[in-house]
Structure 1
């Protein structure tokens, strides 16, 4: 599994999903050639998204938007399927008789699982469990690798040093003391396990 964090806009960009200021690059948890820059897979292949949506609807009747947000929540914000993929998949599930539209307030269509949908989930339970585990593993990895606190601290350090240097009311000795403090912290970070 490979993740990289880069600034960018929201949406798919050549194998990279970008959400706000952080993008997450993945290859369906495996790079085909094992190296950065290799061929990448989509998050879901074939009918996998269909099974994930069916499972989430079986857990609780939902609107399309709710499904997108639930998947995003499972992945800790690392992945959210686009409406252009979710809504046609919901239409397919409805045409297959695995979900049905429920009465709901407003213009949003809310779907519930049918008996045929429950049978499909039962028949493919190991695959469905593996897909949900993949999503939650992505979320757990995202949580472990969230660099937000480190970025904040680095920003604070840069601001403090920049403000101090801009004031210019210090000696060369103070400048060397600042550099020594930064070097000391860098060495301590390198020794962390």
Structure 2
């Protein structure tokens, strides 16, 4: 599904190797997110990133992951075949580089291909940015910190030997009240 349809429209599916911190090779994460890009869209994103500066495959994965705040990172199993296809299409070419990693740069044909699709590419990058903004809103550091604090207090309190049934019920009541208050926030 198209990313622009909203977060709820592209959730639901199966698991990936990336676990709960991001998305796997086809954009699917722990909560079963569907593909962020189809193959043609990913080719355009990679081509644009390579046009910005010559890159290695891993650099491309990192660039996408950073742009989305860690919400999406295509796997090497998708990136490298896509790079091979872009190379076969004559849109990118290998440059001299140090070490074993292949460094790719855009060709004149690749530049022309990008120029023909400027609006589409801008939309794809807007989707990446929106994914990162969504993650920042929903998985913000201050909320994670507060949840971690609550967890640690509970672990500490429950490990003490003096937690009787009344104290346990009081703790549960405080947590339930907090959940209800959060639910009612507008």
The corresponding residue for 2:56 is: 63
Aligned match of 2:138? 145
Note the C-alpha offset of 1:168: 1.4
Tell me how large the CA RMSD over aligned residues is: 2.9
Contact kept in structure 2, 1:100 and 1:112, CA below 8 Å: yes
User: Larger Cα Rg: Structure 1 or Structure 2?
Assistant: 1
Is the counterpart of residue 81 in structure 1 residue 92 in structure 2?
no
Q: Runs (4+) of structure 1 moved beyond 6 Å?
A: none
> Greater share of helix residues, 1 or 2?
2
Q: What's the secondary structure of 1:167's corresponding residue?
A: coil
**TM-score normalised by length of structure 2:** 0.75
In the alignment, what sits opposite 2:84? Answer: 91
Say which structure is richer in strand.
1
Change (3 A) 1:101 1:135: same
Closer, same or farther: CA 64–178 of 1 in aligned 2, 3 Å = closer
Looking at structure 2, the residues matched to 75 and 69 of structure 1 have their Cα atoms a distance apart, in angstroms, of 10
Mind listing any 5+ residue stretches in structure 2 that lack a counterpart?
Answer: 1-6
Gaps of 5+ in 1: 28-41
Q: 1:26 aligns with which of 33, 38, 41?
A: 33
CA–CA distance in 2 between the matches of 1:8 and 1:125?
A: 31
Once the two structures are TM-superposed, the CA of residue 97 in structure 1 deviates from its matched residue by 1.5
Q: Which residue of 1 aligns with 2:110?
A: 117
Q: Give 2:151's match in structure 1, choosing from 151, 155, 164.
A: 155
Contact kept? 1:16, 1:24, Cα under 8 Å: no
- How many residue pairs get matched? 169
Which of 100, 121, 144 is matched with 1:128 structurally? 121
